[in-house]
Amino acid sequence: MKRVIIVVLMAVVCMFTVAKVEAEEKFFIDPVTYTITVDYNISIVDLARDFEIDHTVAETDIKDSNFVLFKMDKKELKFKAVLIHLKHEARISELRDYMKNKKLYPADIKQLLVFGKQNPDEWRKYDIVALGSVWTDPVACLYSGIKRSRLFLGYAFIGLLWDEHYSFLAIQK
């Protein structure tokens, strides 16, 4: 009986280890850490003025009332941000678990817009998603269009299987 219990426990441990290794193989964190300073008193509308709005998104959708934002007592806050890249297709639930294990949390739309403004070369390389800004099902994302010469603010849907051309902006706790 003890052997059966030990074998079962070993099998369970192996399953969790394999799942963790699979998650580690799907994602990697860019070694560059970015410092961004976000003024939470500036509205999303004002921050978004520097970007073109995706033609599928009404400009009236880009406003503070459509997004859950933290109310900040301080005017400006500094954050350490990283980009998480995909090596293979992944679901959002897998990415959120990975972020939690790495002590990261998803960036919000204001952090995304400030990051895009301060680091234009990054969005020319990747489509960057902020999972912390969910408006119904879509999430806010910055992408650079076909020629990678202009930055667009648009939406992507959570239920998608995300592929390796997306990167996710995360904030260190």
CA atoms within 13 A on the CB side of 159: 2
Q: How far apart are CA 61 and CA 119, in angstroms?
A: 24
Which helix H or strand E contains 141, and what residues bound it?
A: strand 138-143
Q: Longest C-alpha distance within the chain, in Å?
A: 68
Domains in the chain, number: 1
For 154, the domain range is 27-172
Determine what percent of the chain is predicted with pLDDT higher than 90: 17
Determine the average pLDDT of the residues in 85-102. 89
Q: Kindly state the tokens that stand for 148.
A: 């990678």
Examine residue 7 and state whether it is found in any structural domain, yes or no: no
Lowest-pLDDT range of 66-75, 82-91, 96-105? 66-75
Examine residue 1 and state whether it is found in any structural domain, yes or no: no
52 or 168: which leads in pLDDT = 168
Examine residue 22 and state whether it is found in any structural domain, yes or no: no
Which alpha helices (DSSP H) does the chain contain, by range?
2-26, 44-48, 92-101, 109-118, 120-125
For residue 56, give the CATH number of its domain: 3.10.100
What pLDDT, on a 0 to 100 scale, did the predictor assign at position 121?
Answer: 82
What confidence tens digit (pLDDT) does each residue in 3-58 have? 545 444 444 444 444 344 455 578 888 889 999 999 888 888 788 777 766 655 55
Examine residue 3 and state whether it is found in any structural domain, yes or no: no
What pLDDT, on a 0 to 100 scale, did the predictor assign at position 98?
Answer: 92
Mean per-residue pLDDT of the chain? 74
Q: Above 60 in pLDDT, residue 139? A: yes
What pLDDT, on a 0 to 100 scale, did the predictor assign at position 16?
Answer: 42
- Residues near 115 by beta carbon (within 8 Å), at least 6 away in sequence: 34, 36, 81, 107, 122, 128, 169
104 or 62: which leads in pLDDT = 104
